[in-house]
């Protein structure tokens, strides 16, 4: 007969969730959803970037049930991280960094809803190498979860079996649960605390996917008057098909290349104009704050 004690295992998961609960908070979004946030360190909280809007007033509900205004200090669409600072002093737990995780390891998603603790357990489904987000951010590890977590968990912490912080819960395409890793959050928070934003590359061109005969790429549909694309000589109707010699099949691939590390970089774009291909030298700008 197995020595495994299911009741003790259940209690252990609940204990991990209870220990993390004081670090969590929640707030109502501009879409009238409830999402989670959690204490990073030094009185700063983080949450999912897509849950907040610039200039909006955020009222956090802490684990104690108390509420307080919070300032949005910055947001990074490329990593999905938003940084919040409550107006008053906050006494909240800080979650220690987790060890490396492997597929199959236990994962516990923690959330909060108007002061009530939320928790659900599952497993790490995939661990992969660094990757580039749809908005050009460098993500240190690919961590997908086999966890059935609802929308209220978004922006909350994901813990390992020791209660260590793996990262923040976000939802990818088709509602797939994924983790923004600790290392990526740490880098984004450092920049947001210093600058209030994370620089993003900027072409200053409105693009549309196009396939014109053998040419497949991103057609220039509009140009910002003071943008890098117009300054470099790009024209309406041009089809961008390459970036430094690497084929570009559409706008999404270009956007992925316009991450924080691209601003100020000189690149050569392969462009089809009137059926003829030419090279256009361009220096990537920094996307203006909206």
Mean pLDDT, contiguous 10-residue spans, the chain (290 residues): 85 97 95 94 95 88 93 93 91 92 98 95 97 89 95 97 98 91 97 89 93 82 95 95 94 87 92 92 85
99 sits in which H/E element: none
What is the CA 190 to chain-centroid distance, rounded?
Answer: 15
Same domain? For 100 and 89 the reply is yes
Same domain? For 141 and 245 the reply is no
The CATH number of residue 263's host domain is 2.30.42.10
State the total domains in the chain.
2
Q: Which one-letter DSSP state was computed for residue 51?
A: G
Backbone angles phi, psi at 7, to 5 degrees: -65, -40
- Of 198, 224, 246, the last residue of a domain is 198
In whole angstroms, give the CA distance from residue 157 to residue 95.
9
In whole angstroms, give the CA distance from residue 124 to residue 140.
16
Same domain? For 243 and 273 the reply is yes
Same domain? For 125 and 75 the reply is yes
The per-residue pLDDT for 290 is: 59
Same domain? For 170 and 230 the reply is no
Same domain? For 46 and 125 the reply is yes
229 sits in which H/E element: helix 228-232
DSSP bridge pairs for 283? 266
The per-residue pLDDT for 125 is: 97
Same domain? For 6 and 103 the reply is yes
Task: Name the residue range of residue 172's domain.
Answer: 1-198
Same domain? For 236 and 193 the reply is no
The CATH number of residue 31's host domain is 2.40.10.120
Give, rounded to a whole angstrom, the gap between the first and last alpha carbons of the chain.
63
The per-residue pLDDT for 90 is: 81
Residue 82 in contact with residue 189, Cβ under 8 Å? no
Same domain? For 192 and 226 the reply is no
The per-residue pLDDT for 56 is: 79
């Amino acid at each position: 007969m197995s020595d495994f004690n299911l009741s003790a295992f259940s209690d252990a998961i609940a204990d991990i969730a209870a220990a993390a609960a004081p670090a969590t908070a929640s707030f109502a979004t501009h879409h009238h959803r409830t999402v989670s946030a959690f204490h990073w360190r030094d009185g700063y909280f983080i949450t999912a970037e897509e849950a907040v809007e610039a200039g909006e007033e955020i009222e956090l509900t802490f684990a104690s049930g108390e509420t307080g205004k919070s300032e949005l200090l910055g947001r990074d669409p490329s990593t999905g991280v938003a940084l919040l600072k409550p107006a008053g002093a906050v006494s909240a737990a800080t979650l220690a960094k987790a060890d490396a995780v492997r597929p199959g390891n236990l994962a516990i998603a923690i959330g909060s809803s108007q002061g009530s603790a939320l928790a659900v357990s599952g497993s790490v489904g995939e661990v992969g190498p660094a990757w580039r987000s749809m908005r050009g951010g460098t993500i240190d590890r690919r961590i997908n979860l086999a966890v059935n977590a609802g929308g209220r968990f978004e922006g909350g912490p994901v813990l390992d079996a020791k209660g260590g912080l793996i990262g923040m819960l976000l939802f990818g395409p088709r509602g797939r649960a994924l983790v923004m890793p600790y290392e990526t959050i740490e880098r984004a928070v450092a920049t947001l605390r210093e600058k209030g934003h994370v620089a993003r590359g900027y072409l200053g061109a409105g693009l549309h996917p196009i396939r014109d005969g053998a040419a497949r790429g991103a057609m220039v549909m509009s140009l910002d008057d003071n943008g890098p694309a117009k300054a470099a000589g790009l024209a309406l109707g041009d089809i961008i098909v390459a970036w430094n010699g690497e084929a570009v099949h559409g706008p999404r691939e270009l956007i992925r290349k316009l991450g924080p590390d691209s601003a100020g970089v000189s690149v050569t774009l392969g462009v089809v104009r009137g059926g003829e291909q030419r090279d256009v030298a361009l220096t990537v700008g920094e996307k203006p704050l909206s």
